[in-house]
Structure 1
Amino acid sequence: MAVAQGSEDAVGTRDAVGAEDADGFFHRLDPDMCVVTAAAGGERAGCLVGFACQCSIRPPRFAVWLSKANRTYRVARAAQCLTVHLLTREQRELAELFGGRTGDEVDKFAGLDVAEGHGGAVVLKDAAAWFVGTILHRTDGGDHVGFVLDPVQWGQGREGQLLRLSDAAGIEAGHPVD
């Protein structure tokens, strides 16, 4: 295997560099944030997610990664569908609710305008955009589990720039992230 030429400290492998070096790469990313909701067995849950992206064009597929520490993950394990919601930068308060509080202690949906979507999914009607996806696969990735979704229902709401990871800085997670 060829190794790129350059300074010793600019090139490394997982064994040769520390976790802080890998963090330097990941900290440069600034993905769109989303709220993922799940419903199953009479329970509903939701959390703020930074690990999510389209993973196929044809057929269209989307993957979201839920922390095993979250109540949303526990509900999602029994769900048939998940709803992925995009928020605008002006919806930081909603992001704080879903990212900074735990459903183990508070009903995150109290007072929110919600609707029932395909398969009993929970839809936040005030989101910038949303889709309900049928869960096709679950993949263990370590401290998160990936859910590959087949979008079956969608809608749009408010306009505005989407909330990004940098906009959500300072939201202290409702559950430990380590």
Structure 2
Amino acid sequence: MDEQAKKTALRGISYGLYVIGTKVGDDVNAFTGNWVTQTSFAPPLVAIGAKKGTTSTDGIHDSGVFSVNVLETGQKDLAFSFFKPVSRVGNKFGDVEFYTQATGSPILKDALSWFECKVVHEYDGGDHVIFVGEVVDAGVHREGSPMTLSETGLFYGG
């Protein structure tokens, strides 16, 4: 197989950019992710990919819940805030405010919209874990266009 052709072809898959949160014991955690897709309308199911060996992935596995915060176009700085571990104090990750709803997973006040899921399936996805969750709550903070990975200038895949 032509490795460069494989990378180019796989990078042609379009991605959104999201902040995915979960409960970690009595605490919360979040990371920036882009492997998110709806897999069913009835019941409403969403699949996410989470890197193995991380606090967030372990938290999703242990708690059985996660939130997906849909970022708005132009929120590159907010997305980049969750590429690395970020300190949490009270209801803030650094200076990013959040609140919780049904699952206790963090919902970012500045996100465009959000939804929360209860894990119904978990699969080994190579270097990631694939979690399929049923949507149990959702909300919209404002109207707008969702952010995509392409606007960041980053590439993921291949």
- The bucket for the TM-score relative to the shorter chain is 0.7 to 0.9
Q: 2:78 matched to which residue of 1?
A: 94
Q: 2:144 aligns with which of 160, 166, 176?
A: 160
Amino acid of the structure 1 residue aligned with 2:85: T
Deviation string 1:16-37 (CA, Å, 9 cap, x unpaired) is x133322121111221111100
Q: 2:135 aligns with which of 141, 147, 151?
A: 151
Amino acid of the structure 2 residue aligned with 1:155: G
Indicate the structure with greater strand content. Answer: 2
1:126–1:158 Cα contact (<8 Å) kept: no
Deviation string 1:42-96 (CA, Å, 9 cap, x unpaired) is 2321111111100112221000100114321122221221001110122111101
Aligned residue pair count: 154
2:24–2:56 Cα contact (<8 Å) kept: no
For residues 97 and 67 of structure 1, the distance between their equivalents in structure 2, rounded to whole angstroms, comes to 17
Q: 1:48 matched to which residue of 2?
A: 32
Q: Secondary structure at the match of 1:162?
A: coil
Deviation string 1:98-127 (CA, Å, 9 cap, x unpaired) is 12x224xx3371332211111322111221
Q: 2:70 matched to 1:70?
A: no
Q: Which range is displaced more, 17-26 or 32-41?
A: 17-26
For residues 31 and 8 of structure 2, the distance between their equivalents in structure 1, rounded to whole angstroms, comes to 25
For residues 102 and 20 of structure 1, the distance between their equivalents in structure 2, rounded to whole angstroms, comes to 31
For residues 94 and 46 of structure 2, the distance between their equivalents in structure 1, rounded to whole angstroms, comes to 28
Give the deviation of 1:170 after TM superposition: 4.4
Q: 2:121 matched to which residue of 1?
A: 137
Q: 2:110 aligns with which of 113, 126, 132?
A: 126
Give the deviation of 1:168 after TM superposition: 2.7
Answer 1 or 2: higher relative contact order, Cα 8 Å, separation at least 6: 2
Moved segments of 4+, more than 6 Å = none
TM-score using structure 1 length: 0.78
List aligned pairs for 1:5-16, cutoff 5 A.
Answer: none
Amino acid of the structure 1 residue aligned with 2:21: T
Q: CA RMSD in A?
A: 2.1
1:71–1:102 Cα contact (<8 Å) kept: no
Which structure is larger by alpha-carbon Rg, 1 or 2?
A: 1
Q: 2:123 matched to 1:169?
A: no
Q: Secondary structure at the match of 1:115?
A: strand
Identical residues among aligned pairs (%): 25
**Residue ranges of structure 2 left out of the alignment (5+ in a row):** none
